[in-house]
Amino acid sequence: MSLLENKENKPNLGSVIAVLFGGSWLEMVADLWKIGKKLWRGLADEGMYEVLEHDVVLELKDTQGKRALVRKRQKVRYLQNNIIAYQDQAWGDGRILVNYHCTPGFEADRYESGRKTQILISLREVKEKGEEDEFNIEWEHLNGFTKPVEEWGSEISHRTKALKLQVIFPRHRPPKQVFIVEHLRRRTTPLSPDNMRKLPKGKWAATWEIEKPRLHEQYGFKWEW
């Protein structure tokens, strides 16, 4: 082989650069970058739906903390097609999820998962991506708040835009102190007096709101009464 032929058979640096930095190669890198960003944000955590509004109320029905009522409202937007079920969860001391009911849909299954109880709600229809629903859920909680210091709250299991928590105390046993607890951040903050108000029938309500709560964080009230 001649020197000239050898040179002609050697890869041309310019050709290599053209291949590496050609349009198709750049498009592939851009696609991989997008996929990587989605994975980094936790695509698996986006789930079947996002929560637009999440309001939860705990009403203590007696001064001993033996009877309580939990009311939950969640407005959701579906992120996938062919959704036929919605999942709820609860935990706590005493007897929880007594006389549980939900609209729309109905309870199809219930099972224990660690300290939590998971409730599977059948929608009885197929939901498509972009559709919205508003779930109203209610249950009784018995013998769950009988100690001088108690705690209650909600965990952010789906991407959520707004969270509102409220505890309603009996007329004859208002709280002495109320704190907001963020468990993952290990942060406890006194509730502002502006977030406490007296209701018309003499009961007291502690209310707290946050926009874009952290995914997987458990927010709650802790009070002495």
**Where exactly are the structural domains of the chain?**
3-41, 45-224
157-185 in b/e burial notation, b at 16+ Cβ within 10 A?
bbbbeebebbbbbbeeebbeebbbbbeee
Query: What pLDDT score was predicted for residue 46?
Result: 58
d(CA 89, CA 70): 12
Report residue 156 as tokens: 């952010």
Residue 172 · residue 61 · CB < 8 Å: no
Cβ atoms < 10 Å from Cβ of 142: 16
Query: What pLDDT score was predicted for residue 80?
Result: 95
Which ranges of the chain have pLDDT less than 50?
Answer: 1-9, 16-21, 29, 32, 35-45
Distance in angstroms between the alpha carbons of the first and the last residue of the chain: 96
Query: What pLDDT score was predicted for residue 47?
Result: 81
Q: Give the tens place of pLDDT for each residue, 156-181.
A: 999 999 999 999 999 999 999 999 99
Between the CA atoms of 74, 79, 82 and 85, what dihedral angle is there, to the nearest 10 degrees? -30
What is residue 50's three-state secondary structure?
strand
Residue 130 · residue 81 · CB < 8 Å: no
pTM of the model: 0.78
Query: What pLDDT score was predicted for residue 35?
Result: 46
d(CA 171, CA 62): 9
Confirm or reject CATH 1.10.20.60 for domain 45-224, answering yes or no: no
